[in-house]
Amino acid sequence: MKTKSNYSNKKILVLGLAKSGFAVAKLLKKMGSEVTVVDSNPLEGNTEAQALIDAGFKVITGSNDASLIDDSYDYLVKNPGIFYSNELIQQAEKLEIPVITEPEIAYSYADATMVGVTGTNGKTTVTTLIQLMLKHSPKFKNSYYAGNIGIPISDVIQKATKDDVVVTELSSFQLQGTIDLHPHVAVLNNIYSTHLDFHKTRSNYIKAKMHITKNQTADDYFVINYNTEEWRDLAKQSNAQILPFSDNQELEHGAYVKDDVLYCNGEKIMTADEIQIPGEHNVQNALAAITVAKLFDVKNEDIIEVLSSFRGVRHRIQYVDTFGGHKFYNDSKATNVEATIVALTAFKAPITLIAGGLDRGNGFDELVPSLKGKVHNLVVYGQTADKLISSAKKADIDNIVKVDNLTEAVPEAYKQSDDGDVILLSPAAASWDQFHTFEERGDQFIQEVETLKGDVK
C-alpha cells in the first residue's frame, strides 16, 4: 500500500461529517495525521461524531466558527457541499491554508488504477456501467465504484489493490477542492449550466469540472463527449490522450452511433435498441462506458450483456411500479432543468410530471419546448412551484395542480392522469427545501407509490 507522505504528521481540520467526512477522518488518522473534526450539527443524534469520539478523535460539534482554525493547521478538508462562503473556510483561506475535499486525500492513497467520471448529467449511470463492464476486463482482479455515487472513496481505496480498478463519480463540488488528483482515465460526460449558486458563474463551474484532467499526462486518457464545439474545445486543455464519443456525428477515432448501431474505433459493438435503459441520453452514457471498456480489453459480448441487462441506477429514471394503467418512474436525481429535459425525452407515452424543490434563483423556461405536447398534467410543490407554473403555462399545459409536498403530490398525480400515462418524478430542482438529499426524496416517492398502490387495490 502506498501511503504518500504529504498528509502524515500534518495537522488537519475536517469540516462536516456525513459519509465522506467520517471516512476521510479515519483515513487521515491511518495516514498519520493529527485530525480535528468540526461539524455544525449538535452531538445529540450525531452518530458519526459520537463514533469518532469513541475512537479517540477530537470532535467539535454544534459550531463552525472561524475561531476554530488557526495557522497551526496544514489543511482544511471540507464536506463538498459546504459553500466557500462559510466563515471557517474563509478564515482558512485568509491564513493561506489549503482547502481540499475527500477525493484529494483518497487519490493520494490509492494503489489501484483510478477512473474518474464527471459531467452535469449521467455521472452515476456512466460510473456504474463502467464498473460493471470492467468486471470483465482481463487487466483487473476486482472492479469497484465509489465517490459521489454514495460510497466514500476513502473507504474503497483501502481495500483496492494494485491489481484492481476503482471507478469514481466526481461532482464539481468535490473536484473544486482538488490539487494533485490524477485519475489514469478521466471521463467528461457533458457540461450544462447548473450549481451556479455554488460556483457563481458557468466559467467557474467548467473550471471545477476540468480539474478531473488538469494533472493528466500523455500516459493518461481523457474520454469526452464531442457533441458540441464547446466540449471539443475543452478537450484541447487536456494533456492526456483524447478518446472522444458522440451520438450526433461519425468519428474517425472514438465511439459513435450510425444508423442506430454503436461503434467504437470503427468496430460494431451493438444496436441501440439492445440497451435496456430508456432514452437517447443513455446512448451517450453507453458510448462513454464502451470507450473505457474497450480501452481495457473488455469483449463485445460482455459489453452487450451489461447494457442489455442493466435497468438503471436508483433515483435516475428508475422504474418503480405499474398499476391502474400507469407506470411510475423515480427521477429524483434530476436536480436541474437539463436533467429533467433528458427524462422527458426518454418517454413516448404521455407524462404526468411531478416537479419542484429548492429555489436557486433560476427560471424554468428552458423546459417549455420539452413540456409542450409531452406533459399532459403537472403537479408542483416546493419553493419553485410558482416558477414552474409560469413556465408550464407557456407550454400550454392546462391541467396544473399545486400541492404542499411530495406526500400530497403522488396521489394527486394519479388522480389527474389518464390510463397509459407515465407518472414521473423529475423535480428540475434540488431537494434541500424539504429533504436532506435527493436520495431521501426519491425514497419517499417510492414509499408514496407503494402506499398509493395499497389504497388503489
The whole-number pLDDT of residue 457 equals 66
Grid cell, residue 9, equals 504528521
The whole-number pLDDT of residue 147 equals 93
Per-residue pLDDT of 284-312, as tens digits, reads: 999 999 999 999 999 999 999 999 999 88
- Which positions make up the binding site for ATP? 119-125
What separation, in Å, do the N-terminal and C-terminal C-alpha atoms of the chain show?
57
Q: What is the pTM of this model?
A: 0.80
Beta carbons of 379 and 407 less than 8 angstroms apart:
no
Angle at 431 between CA 425 and CA 432, to 5 degrees: 165
d(CA 88, CA 84): 9
Which strand (E) or helix (H) includes residue 108? helix 102-109
361 HSE (CA, 13 A, CB side): 7
The whole-number pLDDT of residue 71 equals 97
Per-residue pLDDT of 219-230, as tens digits, reads: 999 999 999 999
User: What residue ranges define each of the domains in the chain, with the CATH number in brackets?
Assistant: 9-100 (3.40.50.720), 103-309 (3.40.1190.10), 318-456 (3.90.190.20)
The whole-number pLDDT of residue 2 equals 44
Give all strands of the β-sheet with 99-100 in edge-to-edge order: 58-61, 34-39, 11-15, 75-78, 99-100
List the chain residues with pLDDT less than 70.
Answer: 1-5, 457
Q: Classify strands 75-78 and 241-246 as parallel, antiparallel or unpaired.
A: unpaired
The whole-number pLDDT of residue 5 equals 45
d(CA 212, CA 230): 17
DSSP letters along 323-388, please? ETTEEEEE-TT--SHHHHHHHHTT-SS-EEEEE-----S---GGGHHHHTTTEEEEEE-STTHHHH
- Which positions make up the binding site? 119-125
DSSP letter for 125, please.
H
